[in-house]
Amino acid sequence: MSGMLEAVKEMPNHIRDALWRIESARLGPMEAPAAIICGMGGSAIGGELAAAALGDRVSRPLLTVRGYQLPSWSPAGSAVLCSSYSGNTEETLAGYAAAEALGAQRLVATTGGKLAEQARSDGVPVIGLPAGLRPRAAVAYMVCAAAEVAALSLAAPRIATELDAAASHLTERRDAIAERALSLAEEVGDATPVIYGSDLTAPIAYRWKCQVNENAKLPAFSGVLPEADHNELESWAGASDCGSFACLLLDDRDQHPRERQRIQLTADLIGSSASAVARVEADGETRIARLFELVMLGDLLSLHLAERRGVDPSAMPRIDELKDRLGPPGSASQG
């Protein structure tokens, strides 16, 4: 499974190292009307995961923006974290420039690249990340950086202590998580995973989908309850006409009681239309501990699916080719 498996197993240490790096960056306060995390792919998901873990402790807008622009309504003076593992993602570089135009207070999380260069020449603080990982394997760093910008901007309380405890929880649960990942991979088999989450688990479902896409090179889909109960639920009637789909539902004890009931009913109703239906729930004390447990489980599941198919989870030939063919910003399309 290349270095990807080691990187996933190192997640507890990534959390601890991220906290240390954030402290070492000696960041000043950034009180702001809103906190925005700009990034793409593996560097964006940390923003949504952090916001989900913070839950109803968020007291000011805290949002993740993927793309070239900030929302037109972004308040001037917002705290903007530009998060790019490589530091060379053009959308994030465009977000960095848009944040300057907005008069935002900027912060950067990266290993280097153009983003680090620009931040250093602009005097923008940088949370330096360790090189040598695939961006999606640096998810713990991105969650910690996003939680920090939420705290600095006063959008939410600081959760560094909970993050540290989550690292210990992950270490304790690592073997059980690995076992569950293997049994889930067997249940999914050759089917296409369709993953549902709600509240805390909504962005985790999306993370699982993306990890299956990038690591196992397989289509996968994710949805959010209760919304999916108002449309997508019907689609399962035709599922077996177009393939084999495994339904994975991510429970969490903090979900609204009606959301919990909906997960149960959705599982029942999908039942025989899916090749497998599995429900998963983490048992950590805090939301952030449960979130990391499920993130690690999904990462390991995707690696098992990659192994079953004999594909290299690290390689991303299509994404690399697309970036090559797109050329540098401002260049004409190469067809």
| Residues involved in catalysis | 214, 230, 323
Q: Is 207 in the site for ligand F6R (CB under 6 A)?
A: no
Closest CA relative to residue 282, chosen from 209, 179, 167, 201 = 201
From 36-44, 123-131, 153-161, 272-280, span contacting ligand F6R (CB under 6 A): 36-44
Question: What is the CB-side half-sphere exposure of residue 64 using CA atoms within 13 A?
Answer: 23
On whether the CB atoms of residues 246 and 188 are closer than 8 A, the answer is: yes
Which residue lies nearer to ligand F6R by CB, 244 or 314? Answer: 314
> What is the total count of residues that contact ligand F6R (CB under 6 A)?
13
Which residue lies nearer to ligand F6R by CB, 21 or 136? Answer: 136
From 40-48, 177-185, 216-224, 272-280, span contacting ligand F6R (CB under 6 A): 40-48
From 37-45, 66-74, 120-128, 153-161, span contacting ligand F6R (CB under 6 A): 37-45
Which stretches within 189-284 are classed as H helix? 202-216, 232-235, 239-242, 257-270
Taking only Cα atoms into account, the Rg of the chain, rounded to an integer number of angstroms, comes to 20
CB of 270 to ligand F6R, least distance (A): 29
Closest CA relative to residue 127, chosen from 146, 155, 104, 153 = 146
Q: Is 304 in the site for ligand F6R (CB under 6 A)?
A: no
Closest residue to ligand F6R using C-beta atoms: 41
249: its two tokens? 């539902």
Q: Is 92 in the site for ligand F6R (CB under 6 A)?
A: yes
Q: Is 42 in the site for ligand F6R (CB under 6 A)?
A: yes
Q: Which of 243-266 are b and which e, b meaning 16 or more Cβ less than 10 Å from the residue's Cβ? A: eebbbbbbbbeebeeebbebbeeb
Q: Is 43 in the site for ligand F6R (CB under 6 A)?
A: yes
CB of 44 to ligand F6R, least distance (A): 7
| 124-143: contacts with ligand F6R (CB under 6 A) | 134-136
From 38-46, 74-82, 197-205, 261-269, span contacting ligand F6R (CB under 6 A): 38-46
Q: Is 64 in the site for ligand F6R (CB under 6 A)?
A: no
Q: Is 302 in the site for ligand F6R (CB under 6 A)?
A: no
Which residue lies nearer to ligand F6R by CB, 84 or 105? Answer: 84
Query: In a 3-state reduction of DSSP, which class is residue 193?
Result: strand
Options 84, 118, 153, 302; binder of ligand F6R; rule CB under 6 A: 84
Options 86, 192, 213, 273; binder of ligand F6R; rule CB under 6 A: 86
Strands of the sheet with 276-281, listed across from one edge:
221-224, 192-197, 245-251, 276-281
Distance CA 150, CA 161 (A): 15
Contacts of residue 229, defined as CB under 8 A and 6 or more positions apart, other chains included, come to 262, 265, 266
Closest CA relative to residue 239, chosen from 266, 273, 268, 272 = 273
Q: What angle do CA 33, 43, 308 make, to 5 degrees?
A: 145
CB of 136 to ligand F6R, least distance (A): 3
On whether the CB atoms of residues 60 and 155 are closer than 8 A, the answer is: yes
Which residue lies nearer to ligand F6R by CB, 111 or 255? Answer: 111
Residues within the interface to ligand F6R (CB under 6 A)? 40-43, 84-86, 89, 92, 134-136, 214
